[in-house]
Structure 1
Amino acid sequence: MSILKSIENAIPPIHPEGHKFIAIFAVVTLIVGWFVTPLFWIGLALTIWCALFFRDPVRVTPVAPGLVISPADGRVSHIALVVPPPELGLGDRPRLRICVFMNVFDCHVNRAPVAGRVARIVYRPGKFLNAELDKASEDNERSGMVITTPAGLDIGVVQIAGLIARRIVGFVREGETLAIGDRFGLIRFGSRVDVYLPETAGARVAVGQHTYAGETVLADLAGGPIAPVVRVS
């Protein structure tokens, strides 16, 4: 019984958003595999990949005043002071922007980087460029959200569609209250999430570092260095 429990704990739950896609992959695999056996194994591998794409593991979120937690699994691709997208209504002064790029093997469930009230949600159509490119923040299809923290700070979170991603899914509405680490959406299938913070915030990650949604500390609103010095070994 303990072995079965261990196996159950080792397999992360699947987000309901993925059930229909996994079912489609599985049905196509069975039909095609019935006629061409080698294609069954290819389809099986793709079905497993689809299930992993929509995994929704339990995360342990650090909770402390001023912490900003990563909204996405992935790699930090950019850290810079940038003027936020105009539709967010965050003004025209540069803010600290931290970008997390998600490839097709990362978990794609996005989580709130801070606690607060969802003050604004704005969808903007656009292109489907490689989400790793810096200009993807301006040109690509995106869905922006502004969270107002209990301290009155406005934090911008932007889900950006990528080269393969064609659908941004949101789970929350304006006026709702989020706890830090709450799930607020996902993007299918490979994309990026940008976080816009006050320019005085201090980054606690470096470009190239891998982050985990709901667990990795991205920044500290209390301030500090924009990017830490790191040693790769």
Structure 2
Amino acid sequence: MSKIYSPGDGRVLSVGREGPGDITTIRVFLSIFDVHVQRMPCSGRVDRVWRQPGAFRAAMKEEARLNERNIVRIVPEGARGPVIVEQIAGYVARRIECWVREGDEAGAGQRYGIIYFGSQVALHLSGRVAPLVRSGDRVVGGVTEVAKWTV
């Protein structure tokens, strides 16, 4: 499967390269009016799950990169690089739940967690991918195709 779905409902904040390497990042802001359940962006095995402590700043701003988060690394089906999805807390949203564990097999669109109230999800895609969304687009978790692998 070459499709990669949005991990959350909301508005795309940014699409592009972040940091070193061949990583494409798609950031989605979840307002207090959006559904706050996160979904798996692709099928695969959950390779690693970890929490990173941090601040609780506004989730729609650049400073959210310093916020507390839960990180899930997925090894997708097929010979593609890992996919990392982050549940990022915000100023109001300070509680994150993650329902998957290392070693779990997950399907694309499967619910895997929730962030309470306004927050952000970030999707980090390694390898050759073509983004299908841009900043300002509205996306629905597990439904909107946000990128596809090109190989």
List runs of 5+ in structure 1 lacking aligned partners. 1-64, 84-91, 224-233
1:3-14 matches, cutoff 5 A: none
2:68 corresponds in structure 1 to 141
Q: 1:93: how far off?
A: 1.6
Q: 1:135: how far off?
A: 3.2
Find out whether 1:196 has 2:124 as its counterpart. Answer: yes
Take 1:121 and 1:73, find their aligned partners in 2: how far apart are those partners?
A: 21
Q: 1:221: how far off?
A: 1.1
Please tell me the residue identity of whatever aligns with 1:77.
L
Q: 1:94: how far off?
A: 4.3
Please tell me the residue identity of whatever aligns with 1:220.
K
1:116 corresponds in structure 2 to 44
Find out whether 1:151 has 2:78 as its counterpart. Answer: yes
User: What CA deviation, in whole Å up to 9, does each residue of 1:171-195 have, x standing for no partner?
Assistant: 1111000000000001011100000
1:20 corresponds in structure 2 to none
Take 1:194 and 1:159, find their aligned partners in 2: how far apart are those partners?
A: 7
Take 1:105 and 1:165, find their aligned partners in 2: how far apart are those partners?
A: 13
Higher Cα Rg, which structure:
1
Take 2:104 and 2:62, find their aligned partners in 1: how far apart are those partners?
A: 31
Q: 1:198: how far off?
A: 2.0
Q: 1:151: how far off?
A: 1.4
Please tell me the residue identity of whatever aligns with 1:66.
S
Seq. identity, %:
37
Please tell me the residue identity of whatever aligns with 2:73.
V
Give the TM-score, by structure 1 length. 0.62
Take 2:82 and 2:128, find their aligned partners in 1: how far apart are those partners?
A: 13
Distance 1:130 1:94, change over 3 A: farther
Take 1:113 and 1:216, find their aligned partners in 2: how far apart are those partners?
A: 10
2:141 corresponds in structure 1 to 213
Which of 186, 196, 200 aligns to 2:114? It is: 186
User: What CA deviation, in whole Å up to 9, does each residue of 1:89-128 have, x standing for no partner?
Assistant: xxx5241000010000000111000000000011011001
Take 1:150 and 1:105, find their aligned partners in 2: how far apart are those partners?
A: 33
Find out whether 1:129 has 2:57 as its counterpart. Answer: yes
1:94-105 matches, cutoff 5 A: 94-105=22-33
RMSD: 1.2
Take 2:52 and 2:46, find their aligned partners in 1: how far apart are those partners?
A: 17
1:80 corresponds in structure 2 to 16
Greater per-residue helix proportion: 1
